[in-house]
Amino acid sequence: MQMTDTEILVKYNRSDDKKGMVQILADLNGCDKDTIQQILIQGGVPESEFTPKKRRKRQPPAPKPDPAKATAAMPPEDESLPLPFSDDDMGIGDDEYGGAMTGGEGVYDIHDYGSLAAGGFIPPYRTAEELLTEPEDMTDKERKRLERIKAIPESVRELCQTEVANLRSQVMELEKRSDEIIDFLNGEEV
């Protein structure tokens, strides 16, 4: 790689031709487009920007299901399967926005850990603070994230945390204003 992940993200965000920029960044860094896309996704670019839009064929409306047949076709519930995810399973912090803001979003490939239906699991996402304790059971992806986390100077980390705290305050203020306007439009007493 010729550029850091941050440089790639900045150049992509400043580009007017996002699709073309992915290929240019791949060429400049001597890697494939998928590598650049993964770096951008980890940097916060929505994955939907890279998936081609498919045209839907117009289909006739499906026949209405017969409730009696639908109930009979339901398989019995298998209690041996793991329960659906909760916020606790995914390592989301004490607040609604998540724990630490450094280290990326963590992309786990379900195929690395086995199918959920076959009893596999996806390990919980560890925040930067958790990875800095260097737990013994780190995955290869977490080790790579830890390298990137350690490369962040402490002064930059503090500035970023301050900025995130300021942004959260602004978001809360905007939500409060939005609620007041919605209450007004709904005829509530303000």
Per-residue pLDDT reduced to its tens digit, 58-85: 777 777 766 666 555 556 665 655 555 5
Encode burial over 18-56: b for 16+ CB neighbours within 10 A, e otherwise. Answer: eeebbeebbeebeeeeeebbbbbbbbebeeeebeeeeee
pLDDT the model gives residue 148: 92
Cβ atoms of residues 112 and 106 within 8 Å: no
- The answer to whether residue 13 sits within a structural domain is yes
- The answer to whether residue 21 sits within a structural domain is yes
- The answer to whether residue 59 sits within a structural domain is no
Give the model confidence (pLDDT) of 95-152 as tens digits. 444 444 444 444 444 444 444 455 555 567 788 888 888 888 888 888 998 999 899 8
- The answer to whether residue 72 sits within a structural domain is no
- The answer to whether residue 182 sits within a structural domain is no
- The parent domain of residue 24 ranges over 5-46
Closest by Cα among 42, 16, 11 to 29: 11
pLDDT the model gives residue 91: 45
| Res. 88: pLDDT tops 70 | no
Which pLDDT band, with edges at 50, 70 and 90, does 15 fall under?
confident
What percentage of the chain exceeds 70 in pLDDT?
A: 65
- The answer to whether residue 33 sits within a structural domain is yes
**Among 2-11, 92-101, 127-136, 170-179, the least confident range:** 92-101
- The answer to whether residue 180 sits within a structural domain is no
Give the model confidence (pLDDT) of 20-40 as tens digits. 888 888 888 888 888 888 888
Please tell me the total count of domains within the chain. 1
Mean pLDDT of the region 87-92: 47
- The answer to whether residue 42 sits within a structural domain is yes
Cβ of 123: how many Cβ atoms within 10 Å?
Answer: 17
Which pLDDT band, with edges at 50, 70 and 90, does 94 fall under?
very low
